[in-house]
């Protein structure tokens, strides 16, 4: 794939969440999730980096117009997640623990349906500067 280039766009959103498994009692939830299990929630400034791989269009020199990609992320991810409670406000997490791993997979699934299938897609999600995840694995 000698002519392919990867392009990246970084966006961010702020959200509350709680790590919790409803199938477990509180004792087990506390043992496994510790202070992340606070029933009153805590929160993060999430940074999301969207990576798109493809061949640049010879007319524009773009793999994808990053302004269009930014708008796509805003409409489909930021407008849905920003200033929200992931557990209470986002239907995808009604039965799914909003760990960084699961949030990345959910964002991938949302964007995969909106982006041309000939372009490869990967999500990197920063929960903090020191804790981050990537999906899928290349």
- Residues assigned a catalytic role: 36, 83, 127
Instruction: Output the six-digit token pair for 33.
Output: 């999730």
- Does residue 115 touch a second copy according to CB under 8 A? no
- The answer to whether 94 contacts a second copy (rule: CB under 8 A) is no
Quote the CA–CA distance of 92 and 71 in Å, as a whole number: 22
Residue 72 Cβ vs a second copy, minimum distance, rounded to whole Å = 14
Dist CA 11 CA 77 (whole Å): 10
Query: Contact between 112 and a second copy (CB under 8 A)?
Result: no
The residue assigned the tokens 């805590």 is: 42
Residue 35 lies near a second copy (rule: CB under 8 A): yes
Applying CB under 8 A, among 74, 92, 119, 132 the residue interacting with a second copy is: 132
Dihedrals phi, psi of 32, to nearest 5 degrees: -85, -45
The nearer residue to a second copy, 65 or 114, going by C-beta atoms, is 65
- Distance CA(82)–CA(15), nearest Å, equals 6
Q: Judged by CB, which is closer to a second copy: 25, or 40?
A: 40
Considering only 80, 85, 92, 115, the residue that binds a second copy (CB under 8 A) is 85
β-pairing, 5-17 with 84-85?
parallel
């Amino acid at each position: 794939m000698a002519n392919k280039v990867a392009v990246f766009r970084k966006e961010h959103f702020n959200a509350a969440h709680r790590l919790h498994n409803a199938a477990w009692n509180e004792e087990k939830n506390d043992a496994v999730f510790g202070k992340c299990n606070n029933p009153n929630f805590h929160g993060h400034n999430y940074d999301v980096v969207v990576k798109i791989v493809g061949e640049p269009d010879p007319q524009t020199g773009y793999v994808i117009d990053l302004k269009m990609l930014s708008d796509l992320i805003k409409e489909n991810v930021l407008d849905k997640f920003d200033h929200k409670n992931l557990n209470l406000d986002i239907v995808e997490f009604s039965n799914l623990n909003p760990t960084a791993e699961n949030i990345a997979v959910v964002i991938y699934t949302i964007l995969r349906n909106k982006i041309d299938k000939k372009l490869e897609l990967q999500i990197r999600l920063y929960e903090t500067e020191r804790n981050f995840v990537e999906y899928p694995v290349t």
